[in-house]
Structure 1
Amino acid sequence: MKKKILGFFTIICLAFTHVSAQETVKVMFYNLLNYPLEEAVPNRIDDLSYILNDYQPDLFLVCELNNITGAMDVLNTVKSAVNSNFEMATYVSNTSDDNFGDQNDLQNLLYYDSTKFTIEEEIIVPTYLRDFNVYRIQLNTINQATDPIEIYVIICHLKASSGTFNAQKRFEMVQDLETYLDTLPTDTNVLLGGDLNVYTNSEGAFQTLISSANSITFVDPANRIGSWHNNPNYVDVFTQSTRTQNGLGGSTGGFDDRFDFILTSENMTSTADVTYVPNSYQVYGNNGLISCWNKSINSSDCETTGSQFSYELRNALHNFSDHLPVTVSLETDATFLSNEAVELLSGMQLETTIINQNLTLNIDHFDLYNERLNIYNNLGQNVKTFLMNSDSKQHFNVSDLQNGLYYLKVSNIPSNPIKFIIAN
């Protein structure tokens, strides 16, 4: 009998050991409502801090950033509200041609926990209006050199407004994205976060994203596909508008649309090495109450006894943006490097960040010796590669590179990219 009991507890322990080996990644996408130029609500960055502190994302995807000042504000906020290891991708102004008004102050950007992720490549997919910003990121796992896990993170903001013309323009933008996605292997892990501005699943833009004819087929992890606009049956996935009051900036129509999404490639729901956690899709701050339909998100009609999201959180969301964030969780059986290991392998410093002809590196860790040193431009393109040696001070000639912002990254080493400027 004792042997049976011992065997039972051994199985239980093994089961819990297996469960604890899984790593979880929390993802948030958020439309920041013209940050920081929209100033109708004073000090709204404090509301963002409250929101981020409450959710604690590992990946923070945003749209409607206006400028580099706003980008740095958000970075400093996420560093203080979540953790100091957060970094941001390269801030790049919209490159797409815009013939319908000034949209070039609405940028997308990725913020990430640098102990868990490294950006391997930054790609821009232009459209007639706004860019798709694509980030190829790698998980900082203990086996990343031999078994790397990558995710392509796409952030987008499609054409706004109702009507046939605007729906057609959204469709054309997605077609441009699909042209790029068709160059990727079919088993690529792809996560898309965006303000799609679609009013129903029948729109060409959305149907194209979920089409099985594509190289990458997206799925709605919430499994709530339908005719969303002003339909209270879909109130649980509504993201806009958080407001009914005029004078705050943004839309004031009350809670009646599903514009904001996180979609995953089909393989990430089952077979990928990093997968969607079932039932983790949430519109953050949405308690799923039909009584909230066409109300402001901080209304008492949007909460009841036992609701998950408090008035304090919903009021912060109401003040910061006319959209709600969307969140999902991902999981992998791989194991992240410890924070200490990531910090240890970051032992590389530039002697100066303003470079003329020669780049000089000070190396203080042996794991960096004899590795490949990659230089990327501000579009994420690898423009030069050097083989390092085992000297503590190493020199590299970069006189053939044009003036501009560049990044250093060592192959197979989970260190953060180092920025430098060439100015001749």
Structure 2
Amino acid sequence: MKNRLILLIICLLGRTLAAQDRTVRLMTYNILNYRNTTSYCTGSNNNSSNKEAALETIIQAIEPDLVVLNEIGSNPNNLTYLLNNSFNTGSTTHWSMAQHTHNGFSSLVNGIAYRNDIFGITNHWSITKDVNNSNLVRLIDVVRFYYKDALLQGNSDTATFVVIAAHFKAGNTASDQSQRERETEAIIDWVDSHSYDNIMLMGDLNTYNSNEDGFQNLVAGNTFRFEDPATSIGNWHNNSSYASLHTQSTRTSGNCHSGGGLDDRFDMILCSESITEGDAQMTYSPNTYIVVGNDGNHFNNAVNSGTNYSVGSSTLSALYTLSDHLPVIADFDLEGQHLDVASTEENWTLPNPIPPGYSINNPDGYELQLYTLGGQLLWKSKDLQATIPYVAPGVYLLWKTTPQGPQTARISIR
């Protein structure tokens, strides 16, 4: 049989053969008045080109798959600058930005960058009003993503999740806290009016402790509750017990940048119980909630003071340069689709190697698809004479769509 290729379609009824499970990394980061000039943040002490280069260094070091960015100047072109100068650099082309949104009066907007080879967007909403229809300080973005499973064409069911990107009102006065309460009420109201399982709140929440009414709206509501993957509910402000979770400030003094060293947990990733429990194809990966650049030993100090080996030296320098905040990351496991073997059995004998133009008789015009065991689609055809491409020796999955439903078989090539 040296000159023949035997494709043996093995019948294994009901057995799962391939699942495109994947771990993805999500990140949230306040990048401090990016291309937004104020009386204290100018082109000289907050240079946009320097910030873009620093963000490029950070993205390459951390390797996230989705990034929520706060404090971007409201000009729509700023998202393009970030995309071209910090994400899609060198030979990289797989990053996209969610659409630009603006409430019409704020000088700052959010940005959501995502790997377009991993995720797609189904919906993008904006929350601009509180429950009494009054304007919020800043627009809150709500984006529903779906996982681009390699087997998506074979099955319409895939993991989906909602990202709520928010930058709450800053400050510690009663008025500031009241505005944060209105923002969180609006978020919970939106969640209650939509039936989604996997929901994450990401961004600069500007909250000093978990007893604030606004934060209690998020984690102690009657209808829906976010959970803290870090399981560290408490009084975070200037409290060394939470030193490893503090995200501001990267320095002890500054003009554009806030000072005081690391002593506040402003930036967070919160998620629904469905994610912590893994009820709907998405699960938080334990012990992956990390404040990047915070080694837990720089309470009330600058991140680059003394030694800090939590990241490389170039990344640490970029974190210090870019913002007075540190990014937060967390990993999540996505459950992929599966191919189930159908109860059919057949032997095909084909020449080896397959010559150009060789075809399989397919008189009913069923769609044929050839996959690797990892779920990568190699070929598909509905031709009555379906031409098979050359494939290396190994084991593959052959999918055939029929009126009775899809049939999938494991193929041994030898």
2:246 to 238, 247, 250: 238
Identity of aligned residues (%): 32
Quote the Cα distance in structure 1 between the aligned partners of 2:249 and 2:139. 24
Match in the other structure for 2:301: 295
Q: Is the 8 A contact 1:29 1:62 kept in 2?
A: yes
State yes or no: 1:93 paired with 2:102.
yes
State yes or no: 1:276 paired with 2:284.
yes
Quote the Cα distance in structure 2 between the aligned partners of 1:295 and 1:184. 43
- Segments of structure 2 that go 5 or more residues without pairing to the other structure are 1-16, 130-135, 339-370, 384-414
State yes or no: 1:139 paired with 2:147.
yes
Q: Is the 8 A contact 1:151 1:188 kept in 2?
A: yes
Q: Note the C-alpha offset of 1:312.
A: 2.7
Higher relative contact order (CA 8 A, sep 6+): 2
Q: Deviations over 1:21-66 (max 9, x none)?
A: 5301111111010112343144221111110110111101111110
Q: TM-score, normalised by structure 1?
A: 0.69
Structure showing the higher helix proportion among its residues: 1
DSSP-derived class of the 1:80 partner? coil
State yes or no: 1:79 paired with 2:88.
yes
Distance 1:343 1:286, change over 3 A: farther
Quote the Cα distance in structure 2 between the aligned partners of 1:343 and 1:205. 50
Q: Is the 8 A contact 1:115 1:342 kept in 2?
A: no
Q: Is the 8 A contact 2:20 2:375 kept in 1?
A: no
Q: Is the 8 A contact 2:125 2:143 kept in 1?
A: yes
Quote the Cα distance in structure 2 between the aligned partners of 1:344 and 1:175. 49
- Segments of structure 1 that go 5 or more residues without pairing to the other structure are 1-16, 99-103, 346-364, 368-424
Quote the Cα distance in structure 1 between the aligned partners of 2:91 and 2:115. 9
Q: TM-score, normalised by structure 2?
A: 0.71
Quote the Cα distance in structure 2 between the aligned partners of 1:334 and 1:83. 25
Q: Is the 8 A contact 1:240 1:259 kept in 2?
A: yes
Distance 1:51 1:147, change over 3 A: same
Q: Note the C-alpha offset of 1:318.
A: 0.9
Match in the other structure for 1:173: 183
DSSP-derived class of the 1:125 partner? strand
Aligned partner of 1:180: which letter? W
Alpha-carbon RMSD across the aligned residues, in angstroms, is 2.8
Larger Rg: 1 or 2? 2
Distance 1:176 1:224, change over 3 A: same
Q: Is the 8 A contact 1:298 1:311 kept in 2?
A: no
State yes or no: 1:321 paired with 2:323.
yes
Quote the Cα distance in structure 2 between the aligned partners of 1:48 and 1:342. 34
Quote the Cα distance in structure 2 between the aligned partners of 1:295 and 1:198. 20
Match in the other structure for 1:261: 268
Quote the Cα distance in structure 2 between the aligned partners of 1:159 and 1:89. 23
Quote the Cα distance in structure 2 between the aligned partners of 1:81 and 1:210. 42
State yes or no: 1:207 paired with 2:213.
no
Quote the Cα distance in structure 2 between the aligned partners of 1:344 and 1:107. 42
Distance 1:366 1:30, change over 3 A: farther
Q: Is the 8 A contact 1:152 1:191 kept in 2?
A: yes
Q: Is the 8 A contact 2:158 2:337 kept in 1?
A: no
Q: Which runs of 4+ in 1 moved over 4 A?
A: 335-345
Quote the Cα distance in structure 2 between the aligned partners of 1:146 and 1:89. 23
Q: Note the C-alpha offset of 1:217.
A: 1.6
| Equivalent pairs, count | 315
